[in-house]
C-alpha cells in the first residue's frame, strides 16, 4: 500500500516536471526572438525612426514612418472588408448550422484557411493589380482580407456555439425575431470572444509578408492613398534585410522589432477585451 502510494506520488511529480519542461521549450523561441530583436534592433529605435521616411542610400538616420502608416492603413482597410463578412458568416453558420448554405461556407472557409498566403496574394494580383494596371495598398488589403475572413468566421462560429441555448429561448420567448435574437442577445453575449478572435486575426495578418509582395509592392515614400503602391512593416523588413547595406540591415532589425511589438500590443488588447463587464454564463 505505502509503496504503491509512493510510486504514484513520484509518477505524478515526474509528469508535472515533464509537462513543465515542454511548456518552457514551447515559450523559449518567443523569448529568443524577442531577445534577438531587442539586442539588434533596440539601439536603432529613436523618435526619428518612427517619424521619418528612409534617408537616401549612404546617409545614416531616417525611419520607417512610411511603413508604419502603410501597415496601419492596409490592415485597417482589410478589416473594413474582412471583419463584417467573417463575423456575419460565422454567426450565420452557428445559428443555422444545418442549412446547406452554412455547410458550404464552413467547407469553403476550411479550404481557404489551408490556402498558402502567397496564393491568396496571386489571387489579389490577378483581380486587383492586373485590372487596376498598377500595384496598390488596396490590393494588399484585399489579399489580407481574404486571409482574415475564414479565420474570423471559424472563431466566430465556435464562440457563438458556446452561447447557451437557454438564452436564445429566453429572447425568443420575449418576442424577439430570430435575427434580433442572434444579434442583440447571442452575439452580444459572445462579444468579448468575438473581439478577441478579431484582434487575433488582425495580429495574424499584420505580420503577413508574402501576399503583400506583389500587391502593395512597397515604397520609399510616405503614402496615404491606398490606390497607390505602399510600404508596410513586413515589406520594409524584407527589403532592408535583403539589401546590401549595413545601414539597411540595422533598419531591418529595428522594423522587425516594431512589427513584433505591434503584434504583441494587439495581443495585449485582446487580453483586456476578454475581461467582460457582466461575466459569462459558463
Partner 1 sequence: MTDWIPALEARGFGLSYGSSRILEEISFTVPTGSVAAIIGPSGCGKSTFLRSVNRLNDLVPTTSYDGDLLIEGVSVFRPDTDLVDLRLQVGMVFQRPNPFPKSIYENVAYGPRLNRLGSRKDLPTLVERCLQRAALWDEVKDRLHESAMGLSGGQQQRLCIARALANEPQVLLMDEPCSALDPIATQRIEELIFELKQQYTIIIVTHNMQQAARVSDSTGFFESGRLIEYGPTEQIFTAPTQDRTEAYITGRFG
Binding site for partner 1 (CB under 8 A): 98, 164, 166-177, 180, 184-185, 188-189, 276-281
Q: Counting beta carbons within 10 angstroms of the beta carbon of residue 261, is it exposed (0 to 12), middle (13 to 18) or buried (19 or more)? A: middle
Distance of closest approach, residue 270 Cβ to partner 1, in angstroms = 20
For partner 1, the closer CB: 154 or 168: 168
Distance of closest approach, residue 101 Cβ to partner 1, in angstroms = 15
For partner 1, the closer CB: 61 or 164: 164
Which DSSP state fits 244? S
Inter-residue contact 150 to 86 (CB < 8 Å): yes
Distance of closest approach, residue 184 Cβ to partner 1, in angstroms = 8
For partner 1, the closer CB: 194 or 256: 194
Residue 230 β-bridge partners:
217
Count of H-run helices and E-run strands, the chain: 14, 0
Distance of closest approach, residue 91 Cβ to partner 1, in angstroms = 17
d(CA 277, CA 275): 7
What are the φ and ψ backbone dihedral angles of 182, each rounded to 5 degrees?
A: -60, -45
Inter-residue contact 149 to 85 (CB < 8 Å): yes
For partner 1, the closer CB: 4 or 165: 165
For partner 1, the closer CB: 171 or 254: 171
Distance of closest approach, residue 175 Cβ to partner 1, in angstroms = 4
For partner 1, the closer CB: 131 or 277: 277
Distance of closest approach, residue 282 Cβ to partner 1, in angstroms = 10
d(CA 139, CA 124): 6
Q: Counting beta carbons within 10 angstroms of the beta carbon of residue 269, is it exposed (0 to 12), middle (13 to 18) or buried (19 or more)? A: middle
Amino acid at each position: 500500500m505505502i509503496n504503491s502510494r509512493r510510486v504514484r506520488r513520484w509518477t505524478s511529480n515526474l509528469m508535472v516536471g515533464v509537462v513543465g519542461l515542454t511548456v518552457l521549450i514551447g515559450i523559449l523561441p518567443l523569448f529568443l526572438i524577442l531577445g534577438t530583436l531587442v539586442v539588434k534592433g533596440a539601439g536603432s529605435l529613436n523618435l526619428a525612426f518612427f517619424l521619418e521616411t528612409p534617408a537616401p542610400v549612404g546617409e545614416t538616420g531616417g525611419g520607417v514612418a512610411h511603413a508604419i502608416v502603410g501597415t496601419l492603413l492596409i490592415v485597417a482597410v482589410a478589416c473594413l472588408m474582412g471583419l463584417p463578412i467573417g463575423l456575419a458568416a460565422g454567426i450565420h453558420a452557428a445559428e443555422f448550422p444545418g442549412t446547406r448554405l452554412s455547410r458550404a461556407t464552413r467547407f469553403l472557409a476550411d479550404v481557404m484557411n489551408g490556402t498558402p498566403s502567397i496564393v491568396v496574394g496571386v489571387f489579389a494580383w490577378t483581380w486587383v493589380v492586373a485590372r487596376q494596371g498598377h500595384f496598390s495598398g488596396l490590393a494588399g488589403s484585399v489579399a489580407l482580407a481574404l486571409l482574415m475572413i475564414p479565420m474570423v468566421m471559424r472563431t466566430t462560429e465556435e464562440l457563438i456555439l458556446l452561447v447557451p441555448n437557454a438564452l436564445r429561448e429566453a429572447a425568443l420567448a420575449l418576442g424577439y425575431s430570430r435575427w434580433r435574437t442572434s444579434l442583440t442577445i447571442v452575439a452580444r453575449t459572445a462579444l468579448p470572444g468575438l473581439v478577441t478572435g478579431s484582434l487575433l486575426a488582425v495580429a495574424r495578418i499584420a505580420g503577413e509578408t508574402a501576399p503583400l509582395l506583389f500587391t502593395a509592392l512597397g515604397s520609399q515614400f510616405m503614402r496615404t492613398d491606398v490606390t497607390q503602391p505602399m510600404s508596410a512593416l513586413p515589406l520594409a523588413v524584407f527589403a532592408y534585410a535583403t539589401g546590401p547595406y549595413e545601414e539597411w540591415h540595422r533598419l531591418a532589425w529595428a522594423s522587425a522589432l516594431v512589427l513584433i511589438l505591434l503584434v504583441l500590443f494587439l495581443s495585449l488588447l485582446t487580453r483586456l477585451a476578454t475581461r467582460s463587464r457582466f461575466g459569462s454564463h459558463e
